[in-house]
Amino acid sequence: MKRILFVDDEPNVLEGLQRMLYPLQNEWKMAFASSGSRALETLEQSRFDVVVSDMRMPGMDGAQLLAEVKKRYPDILRFVLSGQSATDLVYRAVGDAHQFLSKPCKPKLLKECVDKAFALRELLASDSLKAVVARIRSLPPVPHVYAKLCEALKSSEYSIADVGRVIEMDLAMTAKILQVANSAFFGLRRQVATATQAASLLGLNTINALVLTTGLFAPIEGSKLPRGFSINALWEHSMIVGWYARSVCLAENTSSELAGDAYTAGLLHDTGKLVLASAYTEEYAHVYDHSVVNAIPLHDAEKQVLGCTHAEVGAYLLGIWGLPHAIIESVAYHHRPADSVGTSFAPLTAVHAADVLAFGLQKEPADYPAPAMDMAYLGRLGLEGRAVAWEGACANIDVRGGG
Ligand SMILES: [Fe+2]
Ligand SMILES: [Fe+2]
């Protein structure tokens, strides 16, 4: 039985939740707290798997509560159920919560989100994955600039100029972001000369995603990598998948937050390849050969040779970094979306489609078999008829141009 604690300062909301979630009482053991400090007391008394908190509460607010929960009980899954005000949305980019839900939230959606979070946690707790990760001497740390950026965004009075200043402290990062911002990827008509301009033209979501990706790729550039492994090709593939994932979302008319998550997830979806290739240089060369000789997809070869895939390793790392759940889920299941428990369009759907389309549309050279769209998964979502439209949306984008 899953144990879930709901926190909200409004008695009506708590009562409403209690009534609405009554049908789930055989699956969930639920408790309700009317303030952040009460919630912490309840957590001291018994064990919980999930905390679902309101954002704006007098005294300790939702952000402070979840940061405290993260510190004291890192295993507890943290959800925000908020009214989606502008400040809540900024907080969303900062990330002490796994998942953001907006009020009112239907029991079916809440249950699906909780189920997804549990399934992902189980996947990332597998012994073979832990064994592979444990052998890596040091996992890449959260990019320094990203951590600083999150700090800056936490202040309610931050400005775009502050964001620019944080990025400009790192010269290599600034150079890379300007290069990307000026590439054809973004189709901006004016030349971007400073990080502040880039931030105001591209928006916070995109800047956050670029900072993460650049921070991850940069330290590995120049280090010893397996033969046949091209960091430039992976960078380009990541940019294209991010861009395509966003286009698929636009074709589906999703919210801009969902499209932003899909973009970030697209940029980061093959993060695990970087981690594995730099930590297991010899073995990874063998993984490549194994996939070519047996004509099996690379992720299957990884599973057979190493015991886990780059999708799992990437998701594991992003989990440690505290990225939102939808992004981690997209990375974890991008080759096999049907393994997820989702039943509606999500960033995962966009990233899976984008990854497949990138191989097809960009004619990416690969010695191993190209991935195929998982039609059974799309069927489950009732979206099997949309694949053609997505391909059309992505085919229209000119992604060449030196990003
Ligand atoms: Fe992949
Ligand atoms: Fe990929």
Distance CA 84, CA 103 (A): 8
Architecture of domain 133-395: Orthogonal Bundle (1.10)
Q: What is the pLDDT along the chain (403 residues), one digit of tens a residue?
A: 889 999 999 999 899 889 988 888 898 999 999 999 999 999 999 999 999 998 888 999 888 898 899 889 888 888 888 876 655 555 554 556 777 777 778 888 888 888 888 888 888 888 888 888 877 766 777 788 888 888 887 777 788 888 888 888 888 788 888 888 887 667 677 788 888 988 888 888 788 888 888 888 877 776 778 887 888 888 889 989 999 999 999 999 999 889 989 999 999 999 999 889 888 888 899 998 999 899 999 999 999 999 999 999 999 888 877 788 899 999 999 999 999 988 899 999 999 999 999 988 876 666 677 788 999 999 999 999 999 999 999 998 766 543 3
15: left (phi over 0), alpha (psi -120 to 50) or beta: alpha
Please provide residue 61's backbone torsions phi and psi, each rounded to the nearest 5 degrees. Answer: -85, 175
Ligand 1 mean position, distance from CA 308 (Å)? 12
Q: Which residues lie below 8 Å from residue 236, measured CB to CB, with a gap of 6+?
A: 403
Ligand 1 mean position, distance from CA 367 (Å)? 14
Q: Which residues lie below 8 Å from residue 32, measured CB to CB, with a gap of 6+?
A: 5, 6, 7, 8, 14, 17, 18
Instruction: Answer yes or no: are the C-beta atoms of 208 and 93 closer than 8 Å.
Output: yes
Ligand 1 mean position, distance from CA 270 (Å)? 5
Question: Beta strands 77-82 and 28-33: pairing type?
Answer: unpaired
Question: Beta strands 50-53 and 2-7: pairing type?
Answer: parallel
Ligand 2 mean position, distance from CA 269 (Å)? 6
What are the residue ranges of CATH 3.40.50.2300 in the chain? 2-123
Distance CA 91, CA 72 (A): 20
Q: Please tell me the number of the ligand nearest to residue 312's CA.
A: 1
Instruction: Answer yes or no: are the C-beta atoms of 223 and 278 closer than 8 Å.
Output: yes
What are the residue ranges of CATH 1.10.3210.10 in the chain? 133-395
Instruction: Answer yes or no: are the C-beta atoms of 317 and 213 closer than 8 Å.
Output: no
Predicted TM-score (pTM) of the model is: 0.80
* Best CA proximity match to 97, nearest among 54, 155, 134: 54
Which residue bears the tokens 């040779």? 305
Residue 47 is encoded by which pair of tokens?
Answer: 């064990």
Ligand 1 mean position, distance from CA 252 (Å)? 23
**Matching CATH number, 2-123, of 3.40.50.2300, 1.10.3210.10, 1.10.1370.30, 3.90.45.10:** 3.40.50.2300
